[in-house]
Amino acid sequence: MASKASITMLWMDATQPMTEDQVKAFANNQIVVCDASSPDCSDAMFDTSDVLVISALHDLSKVAEITDRLKSSAHTLPIIVRVPIDQFSLGIEAMQLGAKTVVPAHITDAMEWADILSKADICAQSAQSAKGFVFVDPISRNLLALTERVAQAEVSVLLAGPTGAGKEVLARILHDSSPRHAGPFIAFNCAAMPENLIEDMLFGHERGSFTGASKCQPGLFEQAQEGTIFLDEIGEMSFHLQAKLLRVLQERRITRLGGQQEINLNIKVVAATNRDLKESIAQRTFREDLYFRLSAFKLTLPALCQRPMDIMPLADQIAGDSQSAGQGSRISDEAAQLLVSYSWPGNVRELQNVITRANILAQQGVIQPQHLIFDDIGDFKRGVSDRPQNHFGTSQSEIDVNQQHASVEKIESLSQAIKSSEHKRIMDVLRSSTSRDEAAETLGISARTLRHKLQRFREEGVDVMRAYAR
């Protein structure tokens, strides 16, 4: 049986959100739907999703706003726009704004949407990134060897590590290297939806167990038979569901919602968290008995800065993938030094963002230091000072202490230049604009993004015009 993973879809339709029955139908087709209609839809939702669906029944103002927001934050989330079937011109304009494809607004059938996503080449982020984990650094090679060894054992595995370090990739390696590799790989994010829907998705339901349950539906535990189920963000699971999961791990049996018959399970359970679960146990938000059941073997993924020899192979791989799509660039030696020296608080995910931005800015096909825009340059000094010296000595760049010092000064200079240029541009536009909205439009960003930038300037002690200080 082929492995599969759920696709996370952000559904943006303020006039007619999806019903609970529709959400369940999509879930049954391996599509996790999250409501993104709120004006306060966070950037974190973009980070953890595979596709954004926007309803544009009359105009494309919302599409333009979201497109600008994604560009300003260097997100590459594909957008599908829903338009009325008689508004052909609206669809053309949507494609011109950058939409990946356009779909008639009346299509809400889950199976049709599964076909649409397949034809649009939309797949789960985990499937795309499975080939993107690099094992060059000695720490990574030891982790890979241990992971392949653990994969042969029939034990539950807990993956711990910071956000963006590659926990789901390691979960896939645990599956692919195990005797269960021919079975399904089912990935599920425990923080993706409300508790009642999570319970239905995991355990399934019998016909007539609740309003709208017109047929029996196997849950994800059943769908993972003979294979592996990966429970991401396990620390976000409610206490009620933790008790049910503990029973599954103990007895290897489940009962569907509304059912009486127990179903035997033959599955491997892999869970992941970026939380300190022992602290959660102390705060009584996570069950101690469940922790010990899940962590029969615990693997901890180090942050990217702790495996520095992986940085450049990963960066080259990301740039190479973009190059195959017709927009990649080669990384210069000077830029490589800065990449190796940075602390990477956002880990591999941040590295992907930095290389994506650099590819956009590099005009001559070569990424130079001035093209590197880091997500959190303020953490750079701390990351460099905390990192063991021998990491630099064994990294591919082989920079000595003097070159390290020069790299720090170069990044500080680049950082200040970027901030100064951005501040000057924004202040010039604000002085010549009659309102903040007009200034945001001139800058090509949303008013919300402009407000955040002004607030950031104030927090960093940079002068901001009084009229725009709020």
The rounded distance, in Å, linking the Cα atoms of 374 and 121 is 29
Q: What angle do CA 95, 47, 49 make, to 5 degrees?
A: 65
Beta strand extents in 1-94 (DSSP E only): 7-12, 31-35, 51-55, 79-83
How many domains does one find in the chain?
Answer: 3
- 2 is a domain residue: no
**Residue 174 to residue 228: CA distance in whole angstroms:** 9
Same domain, 447 and 320: yes
Domain shared by 313 and 413, yes or no: yes
In one-letter notation, the amino acid at residue 203 is F
Helix (H, G, I), strand (E, B) or coil at 187: strand
Let me know if residue 1 belongs to a domain: no
Of 123, 146, 166, which one is at a domain's C-terminal end?
123
Top-confidence residue, 43 or 410: 43
CA-CA distance, 187 to 257, in Å (whole number)?
21
327 or 346: which carries more pLDDT confidence?
A: 346
Beta strands across the sheet bearing 31-35: 31-35, 7-12, 51-55, 79-83, 101-104
Indicate whether 307 pLDDT > 80. yes
Per the DSSP assignment, residues forming a β-bridge with 257 are 205
- β-strands 262-264, 253-255 pairing: antiparallel
81 located within any domain: yes
Within the chain, how many helices (H) and strands (E) appear? Answer: 21, 16
pLDDT value, residue 322: 58
| H or E element in which residue 239 lies | helix 239-251
Confirm whether 310 is domain-assigned.
yes
Asked whether residue 454 is assigned to any structural domain, the reply reads: yes
In a domain, residue 468? The reply is: no
Considering the domain architecture, whether residues 277 and 376 belong to the same structural domain is answered as: no
What CATH number does residue 173 fall under?
3.40.50.300
How many residues comprise the chain? 470
Among 286, 302, 318, the domain-final residue is: 302
Determine, yes or no, domain membership for 469: no
Q: 268 and 200, same structural domain? A: yes
Q: What is the pLDDT of residue 328?
A: 58
Cβ proximity of 152 and 175 under 8 Å: no
Q: 19 phi and psi, to 5 degrees? A: -80, 165
Report, as an integer, the average pLDDT of 380-387.
41
- The whole-angstrom separation of Cα 235 and Cα 285 is 8
Cα separation of 28 and 329, whole Å?
40
For 466, counting Cβ atoms within 10 Å of its Cβ (0-12 exposed, 13-18 middle, 19+ buried), the class is exposed
Mean pLDDT of the chain: 79
CATH of the domain at 366: 1.10.8.60
Sign of CA dihedral 99, 103, 106, 111: negative
Angle between helices 138-151 and 167-176 (to 10 degrees): 50
Q: Are both 314 and 436 inside the same structural domain?
A: yes
Measured distance between the N- and C-terminal CA atoms of the chain, rounded to whole angstroms:
57
Which domain covers residue 181, as residue numbers? 129-302
| Distance of alpha carbon 181 from alpha carbon 273, whole angstroms | 23
Token pair 């992941």: residue: 272
Instruction: Tell me whether residue 465 is in a domain.
Output: no
Residue 13 pLDDT grade (very low, low, confident, very high; cuts 50, 70, 90): confident
pLDDT band of residue 271 (cuts 50, 70, 90) is very high
Answer yes or no: are the C-beta atoms of 155 and 296 closer than 8 Å: yes
pLDDT tens digits, one per residue of 56-74: 888 888 888 888 887 766 5
Residues 417 and 311 reside in one and the same domain: yes
- Do 382 and 325 belong to one domain? yes
Between 91 and 13, residue with greater pLDDT:
13
pLDDT in tens, 156-193: 999 999 988 889 889 999 999 999 998 999 998 888 67
Identify the residue whose tokens are 């604009």.
433
What is the distance of C-alpha 75 from the center of its chain? 10
> In angstroms, rounded to a whole number, what is the distance separating the alpha carbons of residues 207 and 196?
17
On the question of pLDDT at 380 being above 60, the answer is: no
Nearest CA-CA partner of 265 in 215, 227, 209, 217: 227
Dump pLDDT digits (tens) for 394-435.
333 333 334 444 444 444 454 555 556 677 778 878 888 888
Give the whole-angstrom CA distance, residue 178 versus residue 133: 18
Per-residue confidence at 384, pLDDT binned at 50, 70, 90?
very low
pLDDT (0 to 100) of residue 323: 53
In this predicted structure, what is the pLDDT of residue 419?
Answer: 59
For residue 364, pLDDT beyond 70: yes
Q: H or E segment at 20?
A: helix 20-28
Tell me: do 262 and 231 sit in the same domain: yes
CA atoms of 365 and 358, how far apart (whole Å): 10
Tally of CB atoms within 10 A around 256: 22
**Are 168 and 293 found together in one domain?**
yes
Per DSSP, the three-state class of 158 is strand
pLDDT band at residue 327 under the 50/70/90 scheme? low
The DSSP 8-state label assigned to residue 80 in this structure reads: E
Q: Note whether 27 and 53 are within 8 A (CB).
A: no
Average pLDDT over residues 8-36: 84
On whether both 141 and 263 belong to a single domain, the answer is yes
Residues 66 and 139 in one domain: no
Of 302, 320, 348, the domain-final residue = 302
Give pLDDT, residue 326: 52
| Residue 404: both structure tokens together | 């390290």
Decide if 110 contacts 22 (C-beta within 8 A).
yes
In angstroms, the CA 116 to CA 126 distance is: 19
Residue 98 has pLDDT above 60, yes or no: yes
> Nearest CA to 218 among 235, 201, 200, 204?
204
Where is average pLDDT lowest: 17-26, 347-356, 398-407?
Answer: 398-407
Same domain, 316 and 394: yes
